[in-house]
Chains A and B, each alone.
Chain A
């Protein structure tokens, strides 16, 4: 099996990239191929990056409260493009009541503040190998 390919993205207008960069580096150190999109990416740009890079995983860092509309759009686009097998992970400040809805939309897992990069690596390896 080849390397797991992950697109790490910061959607929306927020620039707080500490978490995105730490996770990107931890995934790379764990042997994954990581493509970091940089800041302020639209859902269309993120899905295009995943398609172009043939990524099996998209990791979204969202701290601003915009997670529901953004994830709705991204998962919708993945569906339209026949990319439903791409696993989407979200990390950030997400109220408990929204986690259920994110998972119903098709988000594989939500990582809250305090999550360890080891847990994130383990979970991504687990779901991506089952792909």
Chain B
């Protein structure tokens, strides 16, 4: 008996424990692990540079995070109903998921749209669909986030025009459009045009928002998809913030004053399953961004220094097996995001490894956030884990790893150049493969997948049938029959001309949208001018 105990203790001493990112974790942390930290220089109170402990002085005592559930499926009419349901049940803001034809700038009748219409988001083909999507939802009453990238400029134009029709000026519109094309090349791969013209579209949009939309976050620089593609926590942090640097650099190079646009840059991170590593990542994000903006870009406005971010729990961590376990995973990940000081949060639904979520599943996801906010007590004090030897050391480590990636990418000539060389893509691919192998070797346990498995009954899911596609095609045909074709043709011609020149693309896009040009038509005009990007198929 004694021998067995000794063997167990010996095993605990020699076994290597790692985080989900493969980071080795020490058995105990002591004061010396956090000894180099200077409170004022490295942490600061919440609301104080370098914002390691949070961007607001009062954090959640002043205002809870925004509970923002990503939603969209089927037709604009169906999603409009889901939006109203979410708002009625305590959601604070809207977040639109578009279907793949919309994300790729294809009309529903394009051959590649086969089977995709309304499936993983809502189908929006023209301003007409956007009008339906927000019917009965006053745009000066809600904030809206739109997850769209290559065709972001068109969707922003649709949103502005819906506001206009409701009598809400664009100066009053509040929300975010993702418009982060770099992470598309890096991870999610919903790109249309080559990297450089794609960056020009982003710069045009940031300039437009800076000049006309003071309450709008012009971009949401996203690590979420980088992480979902299989990166480590430090890679997610490094590539996201380095993408941010790239956008700032391009805007500065285009002649914009850094403090004119930087306060409206926002970020979007993943909250994965390794609890402390995630909290440290969020804290490191704020410190790195604050120092980068102050030191590298000489920003003077404190708002330019603040890394404000949205968080979504990790979709990739959800299992199709024993789906109710996903409620627990999501709750832990949501708690990490809150302890990490997020400004808004989406919690995934338990059935998302199987399909788009049902209303019932979405409700549990929203209630998860409400339980954290109302019952757990974690909102009472800011950055409750600040000063933990372990969390401070982890924050330093992840920061150092990210800064090392910055050096490598700077040496390549920046993120666009690194993307063109496939550098971040390869790093992520390798990390994803290694994680898969560690699961298959059972070094990493996923409950219900490679341990604690059992037979189970299938779950009832949301099912989108093909009728949605037929109806969407019919709606577009009807639209084309009633609009002013000459005006559309002229607007598309003007868009092409602007793309070949240097004028801001937002203005001709607004005009074409007003004329009810379809998204596919506008994107095709830009395809003619910019060409299409094809990624070298390596694995």
Binding site for B on A (CB under 8 A): 8, 12-18, 20-22, 24-26, 28, 34, 36-40, 42-43, 63-70, 73, 93, 95-97, 112-114, 116-118
A116/B440 contact (C-beta < 8 A), A13-B116, A69-B115, A95-B354 known = yes
Within 8 A of A (CB), among B212-262: 228-230
Determine whether the beta carbon of A65 is less than 8 Å from that of B115.
yes
8 closest cross-chain pairs (CB), A and B: A15-B189, A66-B115, A38-B537, A65-B119, A69-B115, A13-B100, A21-B539, A24-B539
- Chain B proximity of A73: nearest CB distance (Å): 7
How many Å lie between the Cα of A90 and that of B206 in the bound state?
A: 41
For A97, the chain B residues whose CB sits under 8 A away are 463
Min CB distance B257 to A, Å, is: 35
Shortest distance from the beta carbon of B348 to any chain A beta carbon, whole Å: 13
Q: Is A70 in contact with B114, judged by CB distance below 8 angstroms?
A: yes
Most buried by A among B439, B535, B537: B537
Asked if B120 CB lies within 8 Å of chain A CBs, one says yes
CA distance A68 to B100 in the complex (A): 16
- Give chain A residues whose Cβ lies under 8 Å from the Cβ of B534: 38
- Whether the pair A118, B440 counts as a contact (CB closer than 8 A) is yes
Tell which of A16, A70, A118 has the most Cβ of chain B within 10 Å.
A16
Q: Is B353 an interface residue (CB 8 A)?
A: yes
Q: Would you call B436 an interface residue if the criterion is a C-beta within 8 Å of the partner chain's C-beta atoms?
A: yes
Q: Which residues of A are found within 8 Å of B104, using beta-carbon distances?
A: 13, 40
- Is B101's beta carbon under 8 Å from chain A? yes
Determine if A39 and B446 form an interchain contact, defined as CB atoms under 8 angstroms apart.
no
Once A and B bind, how many residue pairs between them come within 8 Å at the CB atom?
Answer: 119
For chain B, residues 438 to 475, give those with C-beta under 8 angstroms from any C-beta of chain A. Answer: 439-440, 446, 449-450, 458, 461, 463-464, 466
Known: A18-B228, A24-B539, A65-B464. A13 touches B458 (CB 8 A): no
Known: A97-B463, A114-B320. A12 touches B111 (CB 8 A): no
Assess the A66–B449 pair: CB atoms within 8 A: no
Q: Which B residues are in CB contact (< 8 Å) with A65?
A: 115-116, 119-120, 355-356, 464
CB of B237, distance to nearest CB on chain A (Å): 19
| B355 x A93 contact (CB < 8 A) | yes
Chain B residues within an 8 Å CB radius of A25? 433, 539
B397 interface residue per 8 A CB criterion: no
Q: Are B112 and A12 in contact (CB under 8 A)?
A: yes
Given contacts A12-B114, A21-B429, 8 further A-B contacts (CB under 8 A): A13-B103, A13-B106, A14-B100, A16-B228, A16-B229, A37-B537, A65-B356, A97-B463
Judge whether B115 and A22 touch: CB under 8 Å: no
B119-A64 in contact (CB<8A): yes
Among B116, B319, B440, find the residue whose CB has the most chain A CB atoms closer than 10 A. B116
Contact A95 B114 (CB under 8 A): no
